């Protein structure tokens, strides 16, 4: 861990900061400020920072303050010149989250853009908070606390209230890590670590800004289009272009979207139209993570107020989003929505929305099934798939799934959907075994699987067995991969690559060439990990339309397997190496290809 942290800050100091400097964007520390810049910083501190800071002394009458999880703090070492025999007083300055962590110096001035971190400003001006005392040093630090929720769900009569109580307890959770600026004196360092009860192996001395994530805010502060990726112009989707009613269109055909190259707006419109359509009687929706001002949540509330039966399965245990989901759950309940808070012992991670509509032939079901969250903001930077369908074989099982999650079903059975923790793991093993059998019989056999992580031991062993049988296996795994490819006699037919580019590769897609003699493509919410197979409710769904299957295989998976720019290949020794491109092979960045394809499709549609 220490080596990773050192590498991060080496990247900042040796690469990013000098590169920005060359583009006339300077990040300054206190000693680097000119006289005019220092005067501006001190004035900024007096007007914007000083009024909201509260220094907390640490002595016999002032106990060490309770520090929030990952909050910015500055520890200041001071002494009283009048009592030289008593030196080394400590004070803590907790920094409110409301203050911007990166400040542009004199933003109205002409010339290079200059920035300074808020912690630097506070350290420079700390003397204004301790009049009459001499400051020996000031150092920014933050504490990471244990954020696990410990809940016995079977004993919890009210899960929402229990989680609310646990969230309050997290503020006092045990410290598990201390990050502090390098250069802190040993006496101050020891007092901090002693109070927090941390061993030295959990303490990291930082050579630079305390929280590099705060650099993300700089992107919006700098008006330099020449340094930024061109804005994404997603394809608006078939409904927007044709002006068709969504339900009339889906009654005729399935629709597949590939985000962010295809807009997320049709997903939002699906729920909004259902909320306003007088023929819609019921809407059922899962919510794992969503945006702060979610149009989907507002649509569900509108639907309930319009007299429709609305059910929302809100996963209160979505890590780090517990508080947001509690807020949404309460608002939904106030609007009359039936809210279900997860399932005992499981997290609801599947992405499903079901609409029940009264039509001439009777009640008809329409479903949206996805690989990503119902979050319009992350849908602009995560790659995911969305399937809209009115096929009875799928929508009836989606309805059955919702009834299973909201009611009591001991052993639910699914024929078309692969649903964890019920049949997903067993079906994946069977699909892999089918390919292995086909290979032994000299039939076409191939597996292409794209996911975030591959960890499950049973699945890895099944892939090894399939490789030994002669199955050609291509894995696109962005994150953790515990399978070792390229070992003779074990995994020589397996290739693993990771793609890291402008967008976060988040979609899960699985291709099996000889599913009963017919190729099959599945999409879904589950990685191949024990938690997804056994501790979460996940849905992996088949593409029944041959054209859509072909689109995923040829236009997405095959393109990513040809990526030469953003792909790295996993070697048997565990290292990832850049793809070696042959002289005849064109350079290909798959994400750029998908963006260009979205533009071509839009132009083609506009020309029709």
The token pair that represents 521 in the structure block: 């493509």
* Angstrom distance (rounded) from CA 41 to CA 103: 9
**Helix (H), strand (E) counts: the chain:** 19, 27
Burial of 344: CB neighbours in 10 Å, binned 0-12, 13-18, 19+: exposed
Q: How far is CA 317 from CA 139, 376, 555, in A?
A: 35, 21, 36
| Catalytic entry in 235, 258, 259, 349 | 349
Torsion-angle region of residue 73: left (phi > 0), alpha (psi -120 to 50) or beta?
beta
For residues 226 and 216, the answer to whether their CB atoms sit within 8 Å is: no
- Give dist(CA 404, CA 388) in Å, integer: 21
Rounded Cα distance, 127 and 57, in Å = 14
Encoded tokens for 459: 């699945």
Distances (CA, A) of 81 to 2, 59, 187, 401: 39, 17, 19, 72
Q: What end-to-end distance do the CA atoms of the chain give, in Å? A: 56
Name the burial class of residue 519, with classes exposed (0-12), middle (13-18) and buried (19+) by CB atoms within 10 angstroms of its CB: middle
Place of tokens 């056994």: 534
Secondary element (H or E) of residue 39: helix 35-44
SS3 219: helix
* Phi, psi dihedral angles at 320 (to 5 degrees): 70, -5
3-state secondary structure (DSSP) of residue 275: helix
Determine how many CB atoms are found less than 10 A away from the CB of residue 428. Answer: 24
Q: List the one residue out of 105, 129, 108 whose CA is nearest residue 49.
A: 129
User: What DSSP letter does each residue of 540-565 carry, written as one string?
Assistant: EEE--SHHHHHIIIIIIIHHHHT--S
Catalytic residue flag (residue 349): yes
**Residue 258 and residue 371: Cα distance in Å, rounded?**
10
Cα–Cα distance between 60 and 139 in angstroms, integer?
A: 22
How many Å apart are CA 172 and CA 168, to the nearest integer?
8
Is the bond into 333 cis (omega within 30 degrees of 0)? no
User: In whole angstroms, what is the distance from residue 43 CA to residue 532 CA?
Assistant: 53
Between CA 567 and CA 592 the distance in angstroms is 13
CB of 90 within 8 A of CB of 203? no
Residue pair 70/144 in contact by the 8 Å Cβ criterion: yes
Instruction: Count Cβ atoms within 10 A of the Cβ of residue 152 and give its class: 0-12 exposed, 13-18 middle, 19 or more buried.
Output: exposed
List residues with catalytic annotation: 349
């Amino acid at each position: 861990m220490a080596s990773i942290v050192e590498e991060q800050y080496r990247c900042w100091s040796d690469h990013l900061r000098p590169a920005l400097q060359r583009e006339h964007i300077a990040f300054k520390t206190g000693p680097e400020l000119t006289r005019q810049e220092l005067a501006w910083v001190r004035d900024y501190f007096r007007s914007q920072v000083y009024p909201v800071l509260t220094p907390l002394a640490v002595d016999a009458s002032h106990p060490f303050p309770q520090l929030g999880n990952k909050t910015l703090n500055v520890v200041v070492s001071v002494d009283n010149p009048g009592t030289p025999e008593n030196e080394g007083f400590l004070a803590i300055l907790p920094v409110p989250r409301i203050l911007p962590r990166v400040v542009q110096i004199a933003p109205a001035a002409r010339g290079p853009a200059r920035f300074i971190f808020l912690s630097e400003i506070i350290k420079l001006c700390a003397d204004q908070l301790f009049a009459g005392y001499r400051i020996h040093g000031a150092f920014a630090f933050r504490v990471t606390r244990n954020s696990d929720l410990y809940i016995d769900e079977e004993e919890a009569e009210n899960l929402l209230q229990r989680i609310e109580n646990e969230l309050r307890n997290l503020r006092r959770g045990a410290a598990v890590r201390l990050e502090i600026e390098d250069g802190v004196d040993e006496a101050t360092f020891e007092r901090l670590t002693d109070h927090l009860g941390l061993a030295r192996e959990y303490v990291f001395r930082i050579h630079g800004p305390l929280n590099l994530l705060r650099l993300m805010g700089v992107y919006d502060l700098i008006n330099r289009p020449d340094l930024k990726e061109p804005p994404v112009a997603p394809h608006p989707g078939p409904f927007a272009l044709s002006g068709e009613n969504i339900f009339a269109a889906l009654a005729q055909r399935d629709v597949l979207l590939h985000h962010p190259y295809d807009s997320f707006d049709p997903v939002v419109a699906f729920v909004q139209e259902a909320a306003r359509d007088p023929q819609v009687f019921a809407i059922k929706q899962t919510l794992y993570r969503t945006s702060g001002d979610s149009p989907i949540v507002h649509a569900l509330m509108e639907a309930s107020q319009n007299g429709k039966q609305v059910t929302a399965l809100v996963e209160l245990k979505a890590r780090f989003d517990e508080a947001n989901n509690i807020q949404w759950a309460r608002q939904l309940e106030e609007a009359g929505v039936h809210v279900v808070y997860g399932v005992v012992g499981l997290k609801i991670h599947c992405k499903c929305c079901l609409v029940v509509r009264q039509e001439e032939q009777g009640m008809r079901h329409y479903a949206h099934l996805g690989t990503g969250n119902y979050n319009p903001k992350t849908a602009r930077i995560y790659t995911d798939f969305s399937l809209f369908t009115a096929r009875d074989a799928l929508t009836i099982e989606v309805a059955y799934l919702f009834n299973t999650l909201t009611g009591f079903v001991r052993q639910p059975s699914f024929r078309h959907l692969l649903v964890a923790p019920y049949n997903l793991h067993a079906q994946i093993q069977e699909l892999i075994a089918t390919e292995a059998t086909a290979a032994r019989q000299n039939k076409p056999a191939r597996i292409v699987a794209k996911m975030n992580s591959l960890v499950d031991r049973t699945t890895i062993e099944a892939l090894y067995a399939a490789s030994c049988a002669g199955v050609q296996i291509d894995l696109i795994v962005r994150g953790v991969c515990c399978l070792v490819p390229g070992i003779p006699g074990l995994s020589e037919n397996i290739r693993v690559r990771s793609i890291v580019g402008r967008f976060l590769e988040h979609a899960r897609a699985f291709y099996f060439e000889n599913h009963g003699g017919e190729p099959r493509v599945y999409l879904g919410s589950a990685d191949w990990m024990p938690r997804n197979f056994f501790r979460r409710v996940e849905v992996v769904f088949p593409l029944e339309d041959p054209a859509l299957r072909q689109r995923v295989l040829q236009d997405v998976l095959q393109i990513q397997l040809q990526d030469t720019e953003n792909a790295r290949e996993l070697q048997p020794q565990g290292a990832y190496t850049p793809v070696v491109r042959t002289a005849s092979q064109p350079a290909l960045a798959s994400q750029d290809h998908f963006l260009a394809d979205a533009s071509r499709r839009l132009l083609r549609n506009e020309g029709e």
